[in-house]
Every structure is written in structure tokens, then in C-alpha cells.
Amino acid sequence: MNKRKYEDALNTLDKTFQSTNAIKPAKSGTTRKSKMPDELERRVNWFSMTHKLQSRKRQSAKEISDTTTRSDLFGFEKFIERLQTFSLRTYTSKPAELSPPAVALKGWQHDNGHRNRIVCTKCKQGLIVDFSATQPSNTYSKQLTSAHAASCPWRYQYCPDSMYRIQELYLPPSLAANSVAERARRIDSIIPFHIQINHPLSGAQVDTLLRSLPEPRPSKESSILALYGWEHKPTALPSETLLVSQLDCAVVSLKSDKSVDVVRNHRFYAPQLTPSFQGSSTSGAEALYDKITRRGRKKQLEESFVLDSISRQAVVKNIRGLLLGHHS
């Protein structure tokens, strides 16, 4: 009687479930390669290189020489290298348009020998960005282009603002979750004591975050630290335990009796704290949370769907048994 209907319903359920599974990113390297634009692929490579020390060690001579080609002058790795030269002690309080990432996007790095001086590694020109000299900031903003030598490529081109962004935001949700979880597990495996943290997430948000990370699930504290871009940094001193945030070069020394503020220990220009894209009211860390937990919610749906279809199958089996019993 209703047997056909039940079977049809089950088939539909199976098909739907299979197709939601099929959305998962392909694991094959070649498929990913063909889908990813060059720049994105370079960034993901850089990301895994800096986040997995082992693969950094394995970096071949060819890969190193590849980073010196002309197109890489405007690339992500070189941008990060320039950004890492800035010290807030010698490059003092600047508005956003003259912040270290803003000037590094236009080819400048900090000349650490001189207070507030920036320098171009390509044309060797320098510029002192000093507000005590009463110049308004828009004068400096123009000079970020005009102070390069006439022959310097930075006069005609610069890196897009989008380059200074949490790299995990460029990954598919499941890869972003894996990356955060990996960073968190590494903290768990190395830090010998319970880390105390201050963070802005609600209890419910923390639960959702933890549910969204893949197994084996890292600790709550490490997961929140990792969401906010913190990772363990190996040091020469065994007594010292450092966490760093790669993108704003912030460093925090971990102590068992002192808590880490996942927000306030960042530098003011960290992409975790600033809008995730121009004009957005969502910070980078919030955008990453949304990305990862959307995946978590989807996974939850899938899980409940599996349970649902299993119990449906049991029900249908029982009904089928009853029907057959009646007929025989």
C-alpha cells in the first residue's frame, strides 16, 4: 500500500544526503590546484609554510628562488616581510591610513635605525612620517606614492587592501576550521599549564565554536586563542613560552599566573580587530567565527539528518514487517 511511497521518500533522503556530502572540498591536490587562482594558492602555500614548521624545513631551493621573481614584489610573502620590520616603539602612533600595513601595502618598510622613517627596498628612497612636523596625514598619504623614485614600480602599482586580511577567510569553511583547530592543538601540545584568557565571546558562542572544530577537539582556551590568530612560537629559552600573531607581529609571553587578553594583546591594526573588509561592521575575528560556525551548523544539520534517516529507516522497516505480516 504505502510501501512504494516510503521507499521513494527514503531514496529522496539518501540522494539529498549524498549531495550535501558532495559539497565537501575535494581532497585531491590537483582538483584544488585547478580551482584556485595563483595568488590565492600562493597565500595558502605561505600559510601552510609558516604554520607547519616541518614543511618550512622541507622548502626547496627552487621554491626560495621563486620568491624573488618580479611579480612577487607585489606578492603576499614580501608584504609580510615588510610588515614585520615595524616596531611600534620607533614607528609611533599613526592614523589607519599610515599604519604599518597601510604603508607596507605601498612598498615601504620601517627603517629601524631611524625613528618614524620608512624606506623602499626597491628604489632605496626614504620618507619620514612625523606628525610633530605638523604635516596633515593626507600629505603623507600622497607621498606614499610620490616619494618613490620615478623609475620605481611602486610608483605605479601597489598591493590591494584585501591582502591584509586573515588568510583563513580565503579558505573554504572546513579548511578554515581545520587550520584553527591545528593551531589550537599545537598550543595544547606544547603549553604545560592551564592558560587563563580574557575574551569577548559568550558561553553559547564558545560552545558553538568548539562544536564546529574537527576532532580531536582542542581545549576551549586554545581554540579561542587560535580563533583570534594566536599561535605558539618556539623560542631558544625553554623557560619562555611565547604566543605570536603573525599578521600584526604581536607577541605575548605566557605565564601560568597571568591571563592573556585575546583582543588587547594584539596591535591596533591587527586584521582580527579591524573590519573584515572595507565598510564592514564585522571584525576579522567575527567573520572567521561566522565562517567556521556556519560549517558547524551545517555539520549539526547533517548529523541530525543521519540520525533522522536512521530512525526513519527503522520505522519503515517495522511498518514493512507489519505490512508483510498482514499479507502472508
Task: Give me the residues that bind Zn ion (CB under 5 A), please.
Answer: 120, 122-123, 148, 152, 154
Contacts 24+ apart (CB under 8 A), 8-16: 9/312, 10/309, 10/312, 10/313, 10/316, 13/305, 13/309, 13/312, 14/309, 16/305
DSSP assigned state of 85 = T
Q: Which of 268, 267, 270, 292 is nearest to 201 (CA)?
A: 292
User: For Zn ion, which is the closer residue by CB, 118 or 201?
Assistant: 118
Neighbours of 95 (CB within 10 A): 12
User: For Zn ion, which is the closer residue by CB, 74 or 154?
Assistant: 154
Minimum Å gap between C-beta 95 and Zn ion is: 22
User: For Zn ion, which is the closer residue by CB, 127 or 187?
Assistant: 127
Q: State CA 265 to chain mean position distance.
A: 17
Minimum Å gap between C-beta 104 and Zn ion is: 13
Minimum Å gap between C-beta 248 and Zn ion is: 24
Minimum Å gap between C-beta 138 and Zn ion is: 20
Minimum Å gap between C-beta 119 and Zn ion is: 9
User: For Zn ion, which is the closer residue by CB, 122 or 217?
Assistant: 122
User: For Zn ion, which is the closer residue by CB, 140 or 289?
Assistant: 140
Instruction: Give Cβ neighbours of residue 134 (< 8 Å, ≥ 6 apart).
Output: none
